[in-house]
Amino acid sequence: MSEKIVVIGANHAGTAALNTILDHYPDKEVIAFDANSNISFLGCGMALWIGGQISGPEGLFYSSKEILEKKGAVIHMNTKVSDIDFTKKIIFAETSSGRSMEQPYDKLILATGSVPIKFPLEGMELQNVQFVKLYQNAQDVIQKLKNPAIRKIAIVGAGYIGVELAEAFQRNGREVTLIDSAPGCLTGYYDHIFTNRMEENLREHGIQLAFSETVKRLEGKNHVEKVITDQNSYHADMVVFCTGFHPNTTLGRDLIKQFPNGAYLVNRRQETSIEHVYAVGDCTTVYNNASQKTDYIALATNAVRSGIIAAHNACGTVLESPGVQGSNGINIWNLKMVSTGLSLKKAQSMGFDADCVDYEDYQKAGFMEKDNYKVVIRIVYDRKSRIILGAQLCSEYDISMGIHLFSMAIQEQVTIDKLKLFDLFFLPHFNQPYNYITMAALNAR
C-alpha cells in the first residue's frame, strides 16, 4: 500500500508541496484539503487589478484543482478541516454542503496560511468595511467600485499592501487617505531616509497621509461614513483594513509547539513537534539569517521554499532550509524600493551594535545621458563582527537584482569589508566602474 501524504491548505506553500511530491515521488498517494474555492491566487497582483494596471485576474492563478488532479492528486475544495487526531493519524473535515469526511494519513503537511488581523472597533459591522487577502475580497472591492458614490477611501495600515492599494485606488479615480499609528509608511522594512521618499511620492500623487494616528471607531448609518482617529475625523465611503496578518494555527493549537505569535514552531526540515507532521508557509516560523534567530516572516517566496523542503522530507529525502533574509520590494508610481535583512532601526532594537553607510550616485556613467537615474543605497552592518545585517536600495531605475547580492551576503555572513574590492563588472550601459555598492562599502567606518 502506498504512503498517504495529506496537505491541508493549497495556496502557495501547499501548492509547492503538492507539485514537489507529484513531480518527484509518483509512488506517494497525495490528498489535499482547502476551505476555499480556488488555488494559488497571487494576492500581490490584487492592487494591480484594482488599479487597472492589468486587464483582469486570470493571470493571477498559476494552478488549479484540475491541474493538480491531472498530475495524480486528490483535491477536496470548499472543504474545511475541523479536527485532527494526531495519535490515530486521522483528519476530520466537512464540505460546504455539510458532508462529513474522515481521511487517514501517514504524513501530514499543514499549510493553513494566515488570516487578517481584525481589531474590535465600533462600526466594523458597517457596509463597505473591507479586508483584502483572498480573491473573493478583491472581487468584492472591484464590484463595489462600480458604484460612483464611493468616492473617498480610507486605508488603515501603511505597510506594503496599504501603500500598494493607495496607488491602486487613486489610479481608479478615488480620493485616498492612508492612516497608520506608525510615524510613516513601510517602517517595518525601511529606515526613514527611504520611507520619507515614499511618503513624498504618495503626497505628490494626491494621497492624504495620516500617520501617528490611531483609529478609534468607524461611524455611519448602514454604510461606513467616517473614520475617527485619536486626532482627526476623515470622511470615507469605503474603509480598507491592511493591518497585518497572524498565523492560522487553530488546528493542533494545544498539541503542536508554537512561536510567541502563535505560528507553528518548525525546524530546518519544516518538522513540527509532532512526528510526521510538517508545517509550511505563513502558519510557520522561519530561521532569520540576519538576526540568527527563529522568526516569523510571512512572504510568498518563503512559503514556496518551505513547501518544497517539507515535501522532500515527508517523502524521505533529507533537505534543510538555508534560512531566509526577508527580501522584499515595492514599486509605487515608478519609485522602486527593495530591502533585505534588518533595517538600522530594527537591528539596533534587537541589540546589535549596528551601524550603516549611505551612498547616492547615478546608476550608469555620467556620459550615459538617457535612462540614467540616481540610486540611494544603505548597508547595515555590525560594528564588531563587520557582518552585513541588511541593505536597502531606492531608485526609479530597476535596481531589484542588486538586492539578491545582499541577500546571499547575509545568508553567508559576509562582512562589509569583503565588498570593498568585490569583483563587480563594469559596462557603461549597466553601471559605473566606481559603482554605488563598491563606494558604499569603501565608505563604511
Tell me, what's the pLDDT at 44? 87
Whether the CB-CB separation of 359 and 436 falls below 8 Å is answered with: yes
Residues 353-396: tens digit of each pLDDT = 999 999 999 999 989 989 999 999 999 999 999 999 999 999 99
Tell me, what's the pLDDT at 209? 98
| CB-based burial label for 216 (10 Å; 0-12, 13-18, 19+) | middle
d(CA 294, CA 249): 17
- CA angle (180 as vertex; 280, 355 as ends), nearest 5: 70
Q: What average pLDDT does the chain have?
A: 96
Tell me, what's the pLDDT at 316? 97
Residues 105-119: tens digit of each pLDDT = 999 999 999 999 999
**Residue 1: pLDDT band with limits 50, 70, 90:** confident
**Residue 428: pLDDT band with limits 50, 70, 90:** very high
Mean pLDDT of 12-31: 97
Amino acid in the structure at residue 167: E
d(CA 180, CA 183): 7
Residues 51-92: tens digit of each pLDDT = 999 988 889 999 999 999 999 999 999 999 999 999 999 999
Residues 6-17: tens digit of each pLDDT = 999 999 999 999
* Closest of 208, 182, 181, 179 to residue 195, by C-alpha: 182
**Residue 136: pLDDT band with limits 50, 70, 90:** very high
> What per-residue string of b and e applies to 59-95 under the rule 16 or more CB within 10 Å gives b?
ebeebbbebbeeeebebbbebebeebebeebebebbe
DSSP, collapsed to helix, strand or coil, labels residue 409 as helix
Strand-pair category, 29-33 with 74-76: parallel
DSSP state of 3: P
The DSSP annotation for 217-273 comes to: EEE-SSB--EEEESS-EEE-SEEEE---EEE---TTTTTS-B-TTSPBP--TT-B-S
Using the predicted structure, report yes or no on whether residue 445 has a pLDDT greater than 90.
Answer: no
pTM listed for this prediction:
0.95
d(CA 211, CA 155): 11
Tell me, what's the pLDDT at 263? 98
State percent of the chain over pLDDT 70: 100
Give the active site residues. 12, 44
DSSP E strand boundaries for 96-236: 100-104, 107-110, 114-116, 129-131, 152-156, 175-180, 208-211, 215-219, 226-229, 233-235
Whether the CB-CB separation of 388 and 268 falls below 8 Å is answered with: no
